[in-house]
Every structure is written in C-alpha cells, then in structure tokens.
Structure 1
Amino acid sequence: MQKNDLFFTLALLQVEGIGDVIAKKLLKNFGSAEEIFKAKKTDLAKIDGIGKSILSNLKNPTIFNLAETELDFLEKENITSLYFQNENYPERLKHCIDAPVLLFQSGIIDLSNPKIISIVGTRNITTYGTEFTKNFIEELAPLNPIIVSGFAYGVDIVSHQAAIENNLQTIGVLAHGLNQIYPKNHKKYMAKMEQNGGFLTEFWTHSKPDRENFVKRNRIVAGMSEATIVIESAEKGGSLITANLANDYNREVFALPGRSNDKLSQGCNNLIKTQRAQLITSAADLVYHLNWEVKKKESKTIQKQLFVSLDENEQKIYNFLQNGKELLDIISIECDIPIFKLSGILLNMELKGIIRPLPGKIFEII
C-alpha cells in the first residue's frame, strides 16, 4: 500500500462514527480514502449511514495528526499494513462484512497456504486439553496447516508452541497494538513466533488490551480460518464467542468433548449438543470433514517399503484390514488400541499411503 493511501486510510479510520462497515461503503463509492476527504458533503450524504455528525467529524484536523503519528510508528518498526482489497490480506476474511479495513503485521507471514485453522479455548487448560492439543497439531504437521490463535494463556499459547515445535507457521491475533505485548509473560515467545509466522492486529499503538478488544479480535481469528477448533471451555467464555462468530461466517466449527461433570468441558459439550460444532477426537476427524487431500505414495513403492516402514501398531492394523474394510470402533476393539490413540495412528498410515478413510469412519487398505 502506498504511503499516501495508507495515510488517508488511517485518517478515515479515526473519524468518530466511521467503523469498518461504513468505511468500506465510502471506499467502494469514492475509490480511495483521499477522495472521500475531497468529496462534497452532498455526495457523502448520499451514502447510507452518513449523517451530519460524521460529515462534521471528517473535518476534524486531529484525525490527520493521529494518522501521521501512527504512520511514523509503522515505518519506524517496519510493520506491514494489509488493506482489505489487496492480495496480501487474509482471503477468507475479505468475505466477512465486518472485517477490518486495515490489519497490521509483524513477522514473516505467508497466507498463500489455504489450510488455515484456528485453535481456541480456556486460559486454564488442563492436562487433558494440553495433551490433545499437542498430539492434534503433531498429527496435522505433515499437511502443513497454519495455526491461528490469540496468544493468550492456556490453549492459545500451547497451540502456538506446538506449531513451532512441529515447524508450522503460526499467527497470533492480538487485541492491542504492536508496540506492546499481552500478557507480558509471553514476550519471551515473540522471537520464535515471528520466525515461524508472526502477529496480526487491527489495533493502533494507543489501544490497550481492553475487554471489548478481545471480542473484536475473535472475529479475525474466526473469519480468516477454514475451521475453528475449541479445545476446552467453561459454559461461558471468549472461545465460545469465537465459535459463534465462525458459525455466523459459515465456517466449520469443531469441539473436543469431555466428561459431563468437567467444568472446562461444559462449553464444548454444549456446542456439540446444540449442533453448533462437530465432535472432534483426532486430527483424522478434521482432515476427513474438511476434505483435505492427503498425498499418497505410489502403490508399488508402498509394497516395497511396507513392512520396514510400519511400527508394531501399524503392522497390527494393516494385518487386520487385510480381511477387508472395517469400522473405527471395530479396529480399536480387535487390535486392542484405544480410539484416542488409534485415530492418530490411522492418520499416519493414511499419510504414508497405506490406508484410506471412507464415509462413516470406515477404513480400508489401498
């Protein structure tokens, strides 16, 4: 984005009464932010939502001072600005009516990969949630997805760290400007985050991590992702807001089930019960429902390497499936492998090109 365009766009977004929705209407009609400021009042007044108050606020010189200060910061810190009509803006987010006109980026983020998922949940993650999150991301690693979360305590930071450990790109969506970090304890993770992705925010340097900013942040997390996965949540929580936003944006939503008396599983269980999320117990569930393509090796190569490339459990499953395709539950019983462990093993075998999933959680040898 050219400096001049960025300056006037920043100024437009500081006009009291103009949010992202009205700003987009104005930009669509006048072509650029600069032309909006040059436009006649009579022409501006024709736009739905533009009244006398906004017309007056457009003439407030303070907005240009604020824009210049912010522009100086962006240039000094080498921060990239993503404009909602440009190619580098998150593609799925472009289709959300309330998406930010501008996003600010630090780090090395490549959004050309369409496999973008968000992982959200409680800040008080349990051992159950931690183990699932780590295993889930490790199982997905061969498909190279981008992992998005909010860089908060609990599920967020566990997801970011697991992505980094598996050499996956990860993006933290912040509820404040890029001149600070919240929580402060997570400053130690910033360098690795920016080497393996980075941060996105719509907020300026004067923005504080206020409560309402986290709700606004959640729409970016949900909107830019193909699917949102809720790991653990109490009956009420910010991750449920993200899940509801994802549903509103017609995105896929998944939730990890838990015991009915577990406080931090009530939110997930309710999402599943009310059909606002699909139950997820492994990475294989996500791959199946999103119809992600799994690259398979040539069958001849498989036959040559089959018995040297399989571990004990994989060999047991392969031997059993030689009798024909079978249900996941039956495989678990006959091979004496718990389902939570079996799902990951089956995904690895699928990635090796040995088996393939069929509708109804049935698997067969290729």
Structure 2
Amino acid sequence: MLSNEKLKYAIALSRIAGVGDVIAKTLVSYCSGVENIFSKKKSQLLKVPGIGPILADAIVNYTDFSNEEKEIAFLRKHKIQTVFFTDANYPLGLKQVSDSPILLFQKGELNLNEGRFISLVGTRNATDYGKEWTSKFIEEIAAYHPTIVSGLAFGIDIAAHRAALKYGLKTIAVLGHPLNTIYPGQHRSTAEKIIEQGCLLTEFSTLDEFRKENFPERNRIVAGMCEATIVVESAAKGGALITAEIASSYNKDVFAVPGRIGDQYSAGCNYLIKQNKAALIENAEEFVQVMNWQSDEKKNAPIKQRQLFPELDANEQLAVDMIQQRETIHVDELMLQLKLSSSQFAAAVLGLELKGVIKVMPGKMYKLN
C-alpha cells in the first residue's frame, strides 16, 4: 500500500484532465515513481511520450494538494484500502491491460489475486428467468469456489451478488462512484454484506464528479480482472454488451446465455453468439467443461500422479504444483512464487511446454494440460 505522501500524488495524478491511465503509467515509469512527477520541470515532462505543453503545464502548476490530503483522511477513517497499479496486490488480470486504472479503492478484506474470478453481467430490466438462471448457475458452480464479480446494479448484477452471498462465495461489486455512497440506494444492505464476504471496488475518489459516464468506464475493471465474463440477459445496446466487448478485446473468455428470437432482453446475447463474440452457454456444467476447471475433490489427484513422473525435475515439479494450485497463473507471478533464477525458471517452463505438461494461454498465463 502506498504511503500517505505517495498516495497524495497518485490521487492528484488521476485527477488531471487529459492524463488518462496509459499516460499516467508512462509518467510513473519515466519519473521512477509517482512521487517524483510533480517535482519535474516542464522541459523534463515534455520528454515523456504523450506529454505535450498543455499537460506539462497542468502538472507543473498543480501545487495545491489540500483536497488530496482530505481524501486520504477520509480513506483512513473509513478503513478503505488503496491499490496502486504497481502494488503486488493489484489484480493481475488488470495489470495485463494498458487502460486499467492506476489506482483502486477497496472496502472489504479480500485478496484480489486469490482464486478464480468470473463476472456475471446483464440488463437492469432482468426477467424472472434471467434472475433464476443466474442464481442456479452460481449454486451449481459453488463447488469450484470462484469469486463472483458484477456491478451492484439492478437486474442481473444484484441477482449475481445475492446468489454468491447465499451460496457462500466471495463477491466483488465494482462501482461507478466513490465509496462515500451506494448507488442504487436500495442495494445498501446487500453492499454491507458484500463488504463482509468480499469487497466493494472503485477507481473513483470522493473528489471525482458523479457522472453517468463512470458506469461504462468501470466495466473495464469487471472485464479485466476476470478470466471469463458471462452475459445472462442483454438488450441490443447496454452496459453488459460493453463489458463483453471489452473482455473480448482483452482476450478473455466471453459467454452468453441464448434467449428467444425477438425477446428484447435476449437480443444482445443472441447477437454476441451470432457474431461469434461469445460462446453459447446453457448451464454451469458446460461452463466448467470449457474452462477446464476441477473441483476441490479432484484437484489433488493430478498432483499426486504428476509427482510420480520421472521426467520432471525438481524445478519443473515446483512449477506444476504451483500452477495446479492456481489453475491459471501469470508468468510473472509464477516466477515470483518459485523464487528461481531467470535461467532456472526459463528452463523449467520450457521443459514443461515441450513435454506437453503445461500450455501458454492468452495474456502470458500458464495452465496445466
């Protein structure tokens, strides 16, 4: 977690008009830390790719950090955690995409990199069928212990959160507003339960304006941090389709539940399937098969069997055991956990690839064959 001093500059950087997520990350890199950005001269900032005279002036002239200091006091008072994009606990799925937020605000104790993350999204005007399908799907998938991610909105979102709570799963509500309020207000009690069994997550501080554009923007967090997105019901246009499109652009798996031809709130799902932008899914069993998941009861058997393979050396076996625990793991995280030298790590993963034990997934993710 950032110190108060660094956090002050991180919040300020996120508030400067014209400095988006990509440019902000470039600035942090070029200046060797967010705390160094605001002490740079204009001539130095102009050397940073993407920084022109207007942005350079905006940064140099940003000298009053009193609002940021008040924001930090609010965060500490309400035990809100901050997650900077360079932190180890920043979601690995989001680290792999260029336009992810530089700073996240988290209410609730939840490891953002532990286990599987899937999102269920859909229309705010969900039918009884859509809500029932969502609840049944989550009940059936509970044995695999995924964390359920959605947006706390009416309809499919809230149905997904409540089903996750009911069946003992962790759940994350990604908000399009700061953590000093809950929208819609009718979901406040559910939000309080989510804090106990997961977390609320947002990129917006109380210094940010409450804009309707915030809600489509937060969809990239939902899509980016999850290995799969499931669209349950959606009209021909809507936030759920935006999330699906973003997930597809991130090389994530996208699924859609088919509906009746001519049904207003199935038009979006049917479109995704028809355009091959989403795989058709009817139940949890199909989803698990496509994702190649194993329940806890089956997890340990492959480990015991692989330990008998004489062709695996010690480092290869360590890698297999780590990947087995995580199902999928990013190459950087695997190297960090194994604590091997670069040459040892490269030899181990190359050997496993050649032996057909592991395969490389999009986004530099490894999984067992």
Using structure 2 for the length normalisation, give the TM-score: 0.78
Q: In 2 relative to 1, CA 87–76 (structure 1 residues): closer, same or farther, beyond 3 Å?
A: same
CA distance in 2 between counterparts of 1:128 and 1:198 reads 27
Unmatched tracts of structure 2, length 5 or more: 302-369
Q: SS of the residue aligned with 2:113?
A: coil
Superposition deviation, residue 203 in structure 1: 0.5
Superposition deviation, residue 182 in structure 1: 0.3
CA distance in 1 between counterparts of 2:158 and 2:188 reads 11
Superposition deviation, residue 4 in structure 1: 1.4
Contact 2:126/2:156, CA 8 A, preserved across alignment: yes
Superposition deviation, residue 62 in structure 1: 6.0
Which residue is equivalent to 2:308?
A: none
Which residue is equivalent to 1:286?
A: 287
Which residue is equivalent to 2:312?
A: none
Q: Deviations over 1:54-81 (max 9, x none)?
A: 1211133465122112111111111100
Q: Deviations over 1:221-260 (max 9, x none)?
A: 0000000000001111110000000001010000000110
Q: SS of the residue aligned with 1:37?
A: helix
Q: In 2 relative to 1, CA 146–36 (structure 1 residues): closer, same or farther, beyond 3 Å?
A: same
Residue 267 of structure 1 aligns to which amino acid in structure 2? G
Superposition deviation, residue 177 in structure 1: 0.3
Q: SS of the residue aligned with 1:81?
A: strand
CA distance in 2 between counterparts of 1:149 and 1:209 reads 19
Q: Deviations over 1:153-211 (max 9, x none)?
A: 00000000000000100000000000011001111212211111010000011435422
Superposition deviation, residue 41 in structure 1: 2.2
After TM superposition, list the pairs within 5 Å mapping 1:73-88 onto structure 2. Answer: 73-88=74-89
Contact 1:11/1:63, CA 8 A, preserved across alignment: no
Contact 1:233/1:266, CA 8 A, preserved across alignment: yes
Contact 2:150/2:161, CA 8 A, preserved across alignment: yes
Residue 48 of structure 2 aligns to which amino acid in structure 1? I
Which residue is equivalent to 1:220?
A: 221
CA distance in 2 between counterparts of 1:177 and 1:196 reads 20
CA distance in 1 between counterparts of 2:296 and 2:188 reads 37
Residues 6-15 or 166-175, more deviating: 6-15
Using structure 1 for the length normalisation, give the TM-score: 0.79
Which residue is equivalent to 2:249?
A: 248
Q: SS of the residue aligned with 2:16?
A: coil
Residues 63-72 or 29-38, more deviating: 63-72
Q: SS of the residue aligned with 1:112?
A: coil
Which residue is equivalent to 1:144?
A: 145
After TM superposition, list the pairs within 5 Å mapping 1:91-130 onto structure 2. Answer: 91-130=92-131
Q: SS of the residue aligned with 1:217?
A: helix
Q: Deviations over 1:73-92 (max 9, x none)?
A: 11111110001111111110
Which residue is equivalent to 2:321?
A: none
CA distance in 2 between counterparts of 1:183 and 1:295 reads 36
CA distance in 2 between counterparts of 1:296 and 1:224 reads 26
Compute the RMSD of aligned alpha carbons.
Answer: 1.6
Alignment partner of 1:18 is 2:19? yes
CA distance in 2 between counterparts of 1:182 and 1:99 reads 22
Q: SS of the residue aligned with 1:203?
A: coil
Contact 1:14/1:63, CA 8 A, preserved across alignment: no
Alignment partner of 1:174 is 2:179? no
Which residue is equivalent to 1:66?
A: 67
Alignment partner of 1:6 is 2:7? yes
Q: Deviations over 1:8-49 (max 9, x none)?
A: 211222223212111100101111122111223222111111
CA distance in 2 between counterparts of 1:208 and 1:187 reads 20
Alignment partner of 1:154 is 2:155? yes
Q: Deviations over 1:117-167 (max 9, x none)?
A: 000001111111111101100000011000000000000000000000001
Query: What percentage of residue pairs aligned between the two structures are identical?
Result: 48
Residue 220 of structure 1 aligns to which amino acid in structure 2? I
CA distance in 1 between counterparts of 2:112 and 2:43 reads 40
